[in-house]
Amino acid sequence: MSKILVIPSIDIQNGHTVRVVQGIPELNCKEYGNDPVEMAMIWRTENAKCLHVVDFDSAISHSHSNFPIIEEMCASVVIPIQMGGGIHNLDDAKAAFGLGIFRLIIGSLLFENKREFMKILEHFGPLKVIPAIDVVGEQVVIHGRRDPTGQSVLEYIKNLNSVELTRIVVTDVLRNGMLEGPNLQLSKKVFEQTGLKITHSGGIGGFSDLRELKNSEGCGIDSVIIGRALYENKFPCQKIWRVAEKDFV
C-alpha cells in the first residue's frame, strides 16, 4: 500500500480565503478564518508538506490583485506552494513563479491555446508545470470551473498525447466541497489513458475516504488536495499527516 501526500487547499477571492462548493466560491467564511497568509502558516504548523492555492480572481477575470498575498504566503512558509488560476501566457507564468511558488497548475490554457501551454512547459519543465482537468458530470469545464468545453475527459486528454508531463490534477467539481467521497473512477480513467501520476481533488470527507484513496488500485493516485474536510476538522489535523504518509490499513 503506497503513501499519499495530503495537500491542504487555500482558495482565494478578493484577498480572502473562501470556501468552494461545487466550483462556486463563497466569500467571508469566518468560521475558517479569511486571511490566506494566516491559513498558510496554520497548515505549516499542522505539519503540511505542500499547499495548493487557487486564485479565483485570476481565474475568472485575469486579475492579479491577489499576487501580493500569494507572494507573502510563499515568504511565510518553508514548504512548497503550488498555484492555479488565470494563466493565459508565458508572461503570466513568469509572474506567478516570480511570487515564489514551486509549481504551476494550468487548466484552461491547455484547451484554448496548447501552443502557449507548450511554451510554458518548455520554459519551466514538467516538474514545475502540471495540467489540471476539472470535470462536471462527463464534461471538462474551464475558466474557474464555470464554462463547459463540450469535450469529454477522454477527448480532452488527447491534448496530452506526446507531451512530456509528470502528473495531472483531477477534480470532480460536483463533489468539490460536498464531503461525499472521492470519484475514484474519474482518476482511474485519466490514469489509464495517460499513465501520469494523479493528484486527486474533490469529495474527501474524512478518514475513511482517505483510506479509500490509499487502498485504490490502478488509479495512480499519490497525492490528494483537501479543503473543506480539513477546515471543518473531519479528522484530527495533527494526526492526519502522520497517518496518511505511512502505510495503514
Cite the active site residues. Answer: 11, 134
d(CA 190, CA 153): 8
Cβ atoms within 10 Å, residue 127? 11
Rounded Cα distance between 202 and 22, Å, is 9
143's enclosing H/E stretch is none
Residue 111 pairs with which residues in a beta bridge? Answer: none
Cell numbers for 209:
475516504
8-state DSSP, 174: G
DSSP-derived pairing of the beta strands 81-84 and 147-152: unpaired
Whole-number Å distance between alpha carbons of 60 and 156: 21
